[in-house]
Amino acid sequence: MRRKLAAGNWKMNGTATALAELETLAAAGAQAQTDVLICPPSTLISRAAAISGSVAIGGQDCHANASGAHTGDISAEMLKDAGASHVILGHSERREDHGEADADVRSKATAAWSAGLISVICVGESLAEREADNTLDIIGGQLAGSIPDEATGENLVVAYEPIWAIGTGKVPTMSQIGEVHDFMRTQLEMRFGEGVGRSVRLLYGGSVKPSNATEIFAVSNVDGALVGGASLKAADFSAIITALDAA
């Protein structure tokens, strides 16, 4: 049985005052069926880890190297040392804003695993690729190129985030979400075997809100969500967690 996962990506949002939202979330207690993860800016990771209770804390990116002359970068070992247990890799905003390719994501995932972090690897298509009916080809290529061969259900989470739905308020139809999630499950089973392929949790991300969470979580092979803006407020994120716990 795959445990459900509600992951929040704060992106470049939040200073020390935002930790009050995390305190509120942590005070609500652990959900019986749901794991909860918050990925704040790196400046807040150590403080977040100190108050998070049952809520796991993650980074939003890491460097492929353990150390070195990489000004402004953070290694997986540094995230682990600060109290993180997870790291988001290959988010479309990293792929687009920083030119990250699948091979870069793959190297970072290997580094994350070496440091003992769980990697949340993101995949997703652009609107042009969706309209050209290339979605599954794009997702298949990203899965093959971004995930190292040593993947297991313990060190890997995969998040499907259609680029055109992130922060836009647009959400794919439930059949579109189901098609991609079923495809990802099949691809993982074919590559890693049925045991590993079925154990990897698959998240949906892209304008997930309390108002649409229940419908999304009813879709085949959706094991949770990677949530952006709605994770910044404990009330909104708690409502999403509640919907996931009831799914």
Q: Which positions are annotated as active-site residues?
A: 91, 161
Helix axes 135-146, 102-114, angle to 10 degrees: 40
Cα separation of 62 and 60, whole Å?
Answer: 7
For residue 103, which of 151, 74, 141 has the smallest C-alpha distance? 141
Query: Residue written as tokens 């040593």?
Result: 150
Report the alpha-carbon distance of residue 109 to residue 117 in Å, rounded: 9
Q: CA-CA distance, 79 to 153, in Å (whole number)?
A: 21
DSSP structural state of residue 126: -
Element (H, E) at 198: helix 194-199
The 3-state secondary structure of 140-181, one letter per residue: HHHHHHHCCCCCCCCCEEEEECCHHHCCCCCCCCHHHHHHHH
Pairing, β 56-59 against β 34-39: parallel
Cβ burial of 95 (10 Å; 0-12, 13-18, 19+) is buried
